Amino acid sequence: MPNPLLVFFVAYFLLVSGFAFWKGGAPERFVAGSFLTAWVLSIALSPAKDVRFQTVEVGILAIDLTLLVVLTGVALRANRRWTIVTAGLQLVIVMAHLAKAADPRLIQAAYAYITESWPILQITVLAVGTELYRCRRRCEGSVRSWSRSSRR
């Protein structure tokens, strides 16, 4: 029987991503696509369940670092405040990998908690950001997706 928390996460993730693609602007869709790509790659590169979180998962770290760069870029260019929060949460996830690398005795459960649970917060921020965009668009009409200083 599948883990109920995993089933919840997948359902929640797909629901929020669908909402972002359906009702969000360019930044919401871009972040949802980035999360989806990172998630699929993480599944492909995850080590066997019995050895997960014992050492730094280099493939997952590479994905998380790349996602941090992407989210930081979006936060710098998008005309949205919520993107700063998602980039900050991603920084915490990357720092958990670095903490595990610096001290391999870091409790396996703590490493797992931060790297596995915090994406739920990011997805929630995406959902809230998408809803705020939807409401703002309804009230103001056209809403700029990217800041004026952005090259997009």
Token duo for residue 42 = 């993480």
Q: Decide if 83 is inside a domain.
A: yes
Q: How many domains does the chain have?
A: 1
* pLDDT band of 53, cuts 50, 70, 90: confident
> Is 45 among the domain residues?
yes
Within a domain: 24: yes
Alpha-carbon distance 144 to 13, whole Å? Answer: 26
pLDDT, tens digit (0-9, with 9 covering 90-100), for 108-142: 888 888 888 889 999 999 999 999 999 999 999 88
User: What is the C-alpha to C-alpha distance for residues 127 and 100, in angstroms, rounded to an integer?
Assistant: 30
Domain range spanning residue 39?
4-139
pLDDT in tens, 26-38: 999 999 999 999 9
Please give the Cα distance from 33 to 142 (Å, whole number): 23
Dihedral, 54, 101, 35, 10 alpha carbons, nearest 10: 20
Give the bridge partners for 146, in sequence order. 78
Q: Provide the whole-model pTM.
A: 0.88
Q: What are phi and psi of 78, to 5 degrees?
A: -80, 150
Q: Give the burial class of 141: count Cβ atoms within 10 A of its Cβ; 0-12 exposed, 13-18 middle, 19 or more buried.
A: exposed
In a domain, 145, yes or no: no
147: left (phi over 0), alpha (psi -120 to 50) or beta: beta
- Looking at residue 111, its pLDDT comes to 81
**Residue 130 in domain:** yes
Establish if 150 belongs to a structural domain.
no
